[in-house]
Structure 1
Amino acid sequence: MKKELHIFFTSLMFYTRIPCPKNIDHHPDYLNKATRYFPLIGWIVGTISFSIFYISSLFLSVEIAVIMAIIASVLTTGAFHEDGFADVCDGFGGGWTKEKILLIMKDSAIGAYGAIGVVLLFLLKYKLLSDSIVLLQTSDTNTIFKVYLLFISAHALSRLAAITIIFTHEYSRNDATSKSKPIAKNYTWKEVLGAFFFGLLPLLALAFFHYKTLLALIPVFIIRYFLARYFQKWIGGYTGDCLGATQQVCEIIYYLSLLFLWKFI
């Protein structure tokens, strides 16, 4: 149990800005195992984001409450995944060889592709999440609980989609300059089982109220497949930035899928 707590806190420290015990560090062995808890981190981020949404919605409109919730999630993770998305936009938008793409993504400065991409990403996330919540609020019962499940299922499932790339593809960089390299070396059935358990459980809970929600798995993992294929084609695998971008894109696709399912099917 003590070792599992250490692994969990390693994952929490790596993926968020939440304070952890002082003895926790980026030890490669624990980082390898921390992948099993990546979707569980989505539960935590989603819970914090939902809490801010709920408190804000008591005094403000749904739209403003959603903005506050997005800000909360960004602050909780330190824009970890959004930064990866911006780097991927810059790297694949401005690079035409593997070496150039990796070099651009390694640059801490954000370029035009990254800036435009992040703006459009947040606009989509704001609108899709707002509309999804409004649809849920038309339900007769358990509205708040359903909104909570919406938040944590989006964060958990999108992180599951991202982390599965580690299970199916190779890390692209040949050097050890990226913090994400240690988690790319080894994994066991425990990491795979843990990731899927924590990644799918909130979705199954939401599907208890809206069974059509399960169909959202299809577009999410279709997009995950094509993103991984795209990364493989251009850089021969993935980087930490690619995982962050996959998480953000799959979160958007999840909201979009739910809106379509709840409105038209």
Structure 2
Amino acid sequence: MVKKLCGDFITGFQFLTRIYVSKHADWSPEAFGRSVKFFPLVGGIIGILLAGLAYGVQQYKFEVFPMHLLAASLIIIEIVITGGLHCDGFMDTIDGVFSGRSRERMLEIMKDSRIGAFGAIGFSLLILLKYSLILDIPIGKLPAALFVMPVIGRMASVVAITKFPYARANGLGKTFFQYSDKTTIYIAGIFTLALLIPLGNTALIAGIVAISWAALVARYISNKLGGMTGDVYGAIIEVTEVAVLMAFVF
């Protein structure tokens, strides 16, 4: 049982990041579905890496380390850790949802590997917003914000996977939807609370605000597309991370 749970965690970890752990990861559809409940824990590991960098700069080199360079470095490092997976999903989603076409055509546009004007503009604005928010967060709160950000981002994807229908007949994202069981969101929620409670009320409030925002975005996109897709799951992570940073600013 423990071995199976560890295997499911590794499957989720190696899908959501580019950090190599084991060549024996289970890539079956069932393993993908079972791994969903561990997504917030994967976010926690990403958060530790980002928060550790900010904390190190804060403690040792803040006076000589430019804040603008730190903000840019944090964004780049997160993209490197995830392999840009969620960024790609965000751009594809923006291209499709804001194309003004029919539902079927939106889904076709999202499958196209090429990035359109809407996707490029949307991603540029997303990075600009993240960069600005990181600069605006008080340096003392920045490590906590950077830890909470990927945790809540992945929890938001769990909500999208388990609470909304899937729009396509097939696809990698459907394995997450199809093979997640009824307990997935509750287990993921327990993991999320366990990670956030030690950080106090600010982290919990930021989490609630960001998850609420993610649910609204997921509902809007689901109404447009008739459900979720793998690209939308990535987009949900990105917009939720921005919402977390914004909550820490305000």
Asked if TM exceeds 0.5, the reply is: yes
**Which AA in structure 2 matches 1:233?**
N
1:143 corresponds in structure 2 to none
CA distance in 2, matches of 1:40, 1:80: 18
> Are residues 1:186 and 2:191 paired?
no
**Which AA in structure 2 matches 1:181?**
K
CA distance in 2, matches of 1:212, 1:52: 21
1:94 is displaced (CA, Å) by 1.4
2:218 corresponds in structure 1 to 228
> Are residues 1:108 and 2:113 paired?
yes
CA distance in 1, matches of 2:126, 2:28: 33
CA distance in 2, matches of 1:24, 1:2: 12
RMSD across aligned positions (CA):
1.8
Pairing of 1:1-265 with structure 2 (within 5 A) = 1-55=2-56, 58=61, 59-132=64-137, 135-137=138-140, 147-174=142-169, 176=170, 178-207=171-200, 211-260=201-250
Cα distance change of structure 1 residues 63 and 202 upon mapping to structure 2, 3 Å threshold: farther
2:152·2:211 contact (CA, 8 Å) conserved in 1?
no
1:15 is displaced (CA, Å) by 0.9
1:222 is displaced (CA, Å) by 2.8
1:7 is displaced (CA, Å) by 0.3
3-state SS of the aligned residue for 1:216?
Answer: helix
1:218 is displaced (CA, Å) by 4.0
Cα distance change of structure 1 residues 114 and 259 upon mapping to structure 2, 3 Å threshold: same
3-state SS of the aligned residue for 2:179?
Answer: coil
* Unmatched 5+ stretches in structure 2: none
**Which AA in structure 2 matches 1:83?**
D
1:263 corresponds in structure 2 to none
CA distance in 1, matches of 2:110, 2:189: 29
1:170·1:238 contact (CA, 8 Å) conserved in 2?
yes
* Unmatched 5+ stretches in structure 1: 138-145, 261-265
CA distance in 1, matches of 2:212, 2:154: 15
2:54·2:143 contact (CA, 8 Å) conserved in 1?
no
Task: Tell me the percent identity.
Answer: 33
1:92 is displaced (CA, Å) by 0.9
**Which AA in structure 1 matches 2:197?**
L
1:49-92 CA-partner distances (Å, limit 9, x unpaired): 23344456625212211211111110010011111111111111
1:155-208 CA-partner distances (Å, limit 9, x unpaired): 10121112111111111101x3x322211103234422321122233332222x
1:213 is displaced (CA, Å) by 4.1
CA distance in 2, matches of 1:192, 1:104: 30
1:56·1:68 contact (CA, 8 Å) conserved in 2?
no
CA distance in 1, matches of 2:121, 2:128: 11
CA distance in 1, matches of 2:110, 2:168: 11
Cα distance change of structure 1 residues 183 and 213 upon mapping to structure 2, 3 Å threshold: closer
1:214 is displaced (CA, Å) by 2.9
1:115-144 CA-partner distances (Å, limit 9, x unpaired): 111111011111112211xx243xxxxxxx
CA distance in 2, matches of 1:258, 1:232: 28
**Which AA in structure 2 matches 1:82?**
C
CA distance in 2, matches of 1:22, 1:221: 33
1:156·1:200 contact (CA, 8 Å) conserved in 2?
no
**Which AA in structure 1 matches 2:20?**
P
